[in-house]
Amino acid sequence: MTPRTLLLPLLLTGCFEDSATYGDGSGTGTWTGSGESNGMSQEGCQDRTRTCAEIRAAFADGAGDFELDCDEDAGLFTVYSSGVPLYDSNQTTPNGIADQGWQVTWSLTATCADGVEDVTSSRGEIGMTVNGIPFYGPEDGQGRDAIVYEGPTLDDCNGHSDNRCSYHHHNEPVCVFGTSTDIMDRAGDDGHPPVVAFAADGFPVHGVDPDDPDGAELDDCNGHQDADRGYHYHMTDDYPYTIGCLAGQDRFTAISSGAADGECDNSGGPPQ
Ligand SMILES: [Zn+2]
Ligand SMILES: [Zn+2]
């Protein structure tokens, strides 16, 4: 399997759905994509190749339990992460947070696809933050708006833990640089929000733009391009919160060992 191979889904896994076969050591990711554009489109996508220096500069050392490996000869970068944040997020989800043994590999070159892939009804990870935490689409395991229906379970850092004890986000990871650092403290000189994540297709995801918090100026994927950064996505305060579709043709290889036996306390059950 190459790093650009789309992992086939073994089962549908949402935030609080049954996950009997997850974490069984099979070493699989959980993302399930639609493979369909569903009438969505992007505007201005351009292929991008990054150096390892650029990738390293984007990641948030100290705010996550991860290691970044980058190989320009191979044209790949890989994040090894426990998926456990290195800060107290004032967690409100009844489920615990356990080491998920993430190994996520992207191409250094993000390549535009002929057509986009709708991820609004996806389950599982559709990208990873720059402190090694997966982010999901806008729906919970029951296909509802996760922010509306699961909002009370999100902690001060906009994260929560599913019944696999896998901590994740459905909207802007506000503590991605640590609980004491405002994302906009890392903004560019022009006020453009910094990279907070990389999507499954390798294009970067920036924080919410204070000048366009609802994404009115963005395409269906929550993306746009500018001369300095090329094509990229933004988190938004409104649906779809992270990204709506993937404009690129490649997909990361996201592998998780899942929580070790006995390490996931999910006895709290699904919150309502
Ligand atoms: Zn969730
Ligand atoms: Zn932008």
Per residue in 23-46, pLDDT (tens digit) is 333 445 667 777 899 999 999 999
**Smallest-distance ligand from the CA of 145:** 1
Distance 146 CA to ligand 1 centre (A): 7
**Which ligand approaches the C-alpha of residue 160 most closely?**
1
Q: Which tokens hold the place of 27?
A: 């070493």
* pTM for this predicted structure: 0.89
Residues of the chain with pLDDT under 70: 1-30, 268-272
Residue 20 inside a domain? The answer is no
Q: Rounded to whole angstroms, what are the CA distances from 185 to 169, 174, 207, 214?
A: 21, 12, 11, 20
Classify residue 51 as exposed, middle or buried by CB count within 10 Å of its CB (0-12, 13-18, 19+).
exposed
- Tell me whether residue 53 is in a domain: yes
What is the predicted pLDDT for the residue at 19?
31
CA–centroid distance, 224 to ligand 2, in Å, is: 6
Domain with 143, as residue range(s), is: 48-256
Question: Residue 142: what pLDDT?
Answer: 87
Ligand nearest to the CA of 13: 1
Per-residue model confidence (pLDDT) at position 3: 40
Domain total of the chain: 1
Report yes or no on 243 lying in a domain.
yes
Nearest to 213 by CA among 229, 235, 187: 235
> Any residues with CB less than 8 A from the CB of 191 and at least 6 apart, and which?
210, 211
Predicted confidence at residue 93, as pLDDT, reads 79
Question: How far is ligand 1, taken at its centre, from the CA of residue 170, in Å?
Answer: 6
pLDDT at 180: 87
Give backbone dihedrals phi and psi of 245, rounded to 5 degrees, phi first: -155, 165
Output the pLDDT for position 87: 86
Looking at residue 10, its pLDDT comes to 30
In a domain, 250, yes or no: yes
Distance 232 CA to ligand 2 centre (A): 6
- Asked if the structure places residue 272 within a domain, the reply is no
Say what the pLDDT of residue 1 is.
Answer: 37
What pLDDT was estimated at residue 16? 41
